[in-house]
Amino acid sequence: MVHPKDVPVSKTFTLKDVTDANEAVEDMVSVGFAGRKEGFKVLMPREKRIAKRIGYTVTTGVSYGLRKRGHPRDVKYWTYIHDKDHYAIVLVDSAVADKLGL
């Protein structure tokens, strides 16, 4: 089985707070997920309270942004411990996830 850290990503966002998360969401939604072979990675501080806020903002923001633009919202995501200082979220189109066996 493939680990989420092995998913091909086109861009990695390093976020410090919710304001950064909103900007990253805009960027991800404008590029889109459908038909792409790569996803996006979001790195966030390994402080639970901040990470939860950023994670919620990213996941709901991407879903809402894609719906608002009429794009498919078939996106899968995983949250994991990236390193000693960061949590990570990997977001990818579900077709790519299925192809990788995730």
DSSP 27-75: HHHHH-STT-S-EEEEEEES-HHHHHHHHHHHHHHHHHHHHHTT----E
User: How much is the pLDDT for 102?
Assistant: 74
Pair 25, 65: CB distance under 8 Å: yes
Q: Domain segments of the chain: what residues?
A: 4-100
Per-residue confidence in pLDDT tens, the chain, 102 aa? 678 888 889 999 999 999 999 999 999 999 989 888 899 999 999 999 999 999 999 999 999 999 999 998 899 999 999 999 999 999 999 888 888 777
pLDDT of residue 2: 73
Domain 4-100 = CATH 3.30.70: no
Q: Are strands 75-83 and 9-14 parallel, antiparallel or unpaired?
A: unpaired
Alpha-carbon 36 to chain mean position: 14
